[in-house]
């Protein structure tokens, strides 16, 4: 391998890390490990103890058993998303429940990354409904459950390829596993902070195949129609409406 090739590989690796960091839903709470070199080394050195037991705290959270279809309208045009509750029951159930409650209606896409390569379109912060909220604050909010007045968060939930049960609260990449639902172009996944169980309402569309995210973030569905609309979304564009068009009967809450 010559020097130019080596530099090119290192550059792509650094770019992948940089892009992945922009996925994290911002948090006002401290997170660990840090994003510095020591934190990266620590994360790579530790093989997680994979847990297939559903966290007790999620017993009362919405779950999707089977599939659902969601239509998201942006700039007057529909985007159809197929939600996979078989491979991500809690993650999919949380999203479908929030759609059904109208939580996403009027929210904006606060992060759009297309350069230096197509990456993601991210939205779902309920704060973005309020035009008076400063742009720099967007990406810090989640869904506040009216019943508890607390932010609803869900555990990281990933089903490894070739397995039936999700792994909870742990990334699976360090264990040498790949997820059943991958970050191919048009995937829909949950944004989170460095804490694996911090996802709430923020989600993202992938603009290209992003295999370096596989095993670290929870994919729960795919765009099946309207990817051209996703490709046209600009920062600040709003979700005019999000509706469950099929499969609401598969939601338990």
Distance of CA 149 to the CA centre of its chain: 23
Domains by residue range for the chain, with CATH: 3-27+61-252 (2.40.100.10)
Can you give the pLDDT at residue 9? 42
Can you give the pLDDT at residue 57? 64
State the average pLDDT over residues 79-95: 98
Strands 77-84 and 239-246: unpaired
Condensed to tens digits (0 to 9), the pLDDT of residues 100-118 reads 999 999 999 999 999 999 9
CA-CA distance, 109 to 230, in Å (whole number)? 11
pTM: 0.84
**What are the residues facing 67 on neighbouring strands?**
84
pLDDT above 90 coverage of the chain, percent: 74
Condensed to tens digits (0 to 9), the pLDDT of residues 4-24 reads 433 344 445 545 555 555 566
Q: Residues 51, 62: contact at Cβ < 8 Å?
A: no
Q: Residues 112, 233: contact at Cβ < 8 Å?
A: yes
Can you give the pLDDT at residue 45? 38
Is pLDDT at 157 greater than 80 in this prediction?
A: yes
- For CA atoms 245, 250, 251, 253, the dihedral sign is positive
Can you give the pLDDT at residue 32? 25
CA-CA distance, 30 to 195, in Å (whole number)? 9
Is pLDDT at 194 greater than 50 in this prediction?
A: yes
Q: Residues 204, 135: contact at Cβ < 8 Å?
A: no
pLDDT range class, residue 34, cuts 50, 70, 90: very low
pLDDT range class, residue 38, cuts 50, 70, 90: very low
Condensed to tens digits (0 to 9), the pLDDT of residues 20-33 reads 555 666 544 333 22
Is pLDDT at 122 greater than 80 in this prediction?
A: yes
């Amino acid at each position: 391998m010559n020097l130019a090739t080596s530099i090119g590989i290192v550059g792509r690796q650094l770019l992948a890390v940089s892009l992945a960091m922009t996925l994290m839903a911002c948090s006002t709470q401290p997170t660990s490990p840090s994003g510095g070199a020591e934190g990266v080394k620590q994360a790579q050195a530790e093989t997680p103890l994979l847990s297939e037991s559903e966290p007790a705290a999620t017993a009362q959270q919405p779950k999707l058993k089977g599939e659902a279809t969601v239509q998201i309208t942006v700039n007057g045009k529909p985007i159809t998303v197929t939600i996979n509750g078989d491979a991500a029951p809690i993650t999919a159930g949380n999203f479908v429940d929030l759609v059904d409650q109208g939580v996403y209606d009027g929210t904006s896409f606060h992060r759009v990354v297309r350069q230096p390569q197509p990456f993601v379109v991210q939205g779902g912060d309920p704060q973005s409904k309020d035009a008076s909220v400063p742009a720099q604050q967007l990406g810090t909010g989640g869904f506040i459950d009216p019943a508890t007045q607390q932010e609803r968060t869900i555990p990281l939930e990933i089903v490894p390829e070739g397995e039936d049960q999700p792994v909870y609260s742990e990334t699976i990449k360090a264990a040498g596993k790949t997820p059943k639902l991958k970050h191919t172009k048009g995937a829909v996944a949950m944004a989170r902070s460095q804490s694996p169980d911090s996802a709430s309402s923020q989600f993202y569309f992938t603009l290209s195949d992003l295999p370096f995210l596989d095993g670290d973030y929870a994919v729960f569905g795919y765009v099946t129609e309207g990817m051209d609309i996703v490709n046209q979304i600009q920062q600040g564009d709003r979700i005019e409406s999000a509706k469950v068009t099929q499969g609401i009967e598969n939601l338990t809450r």
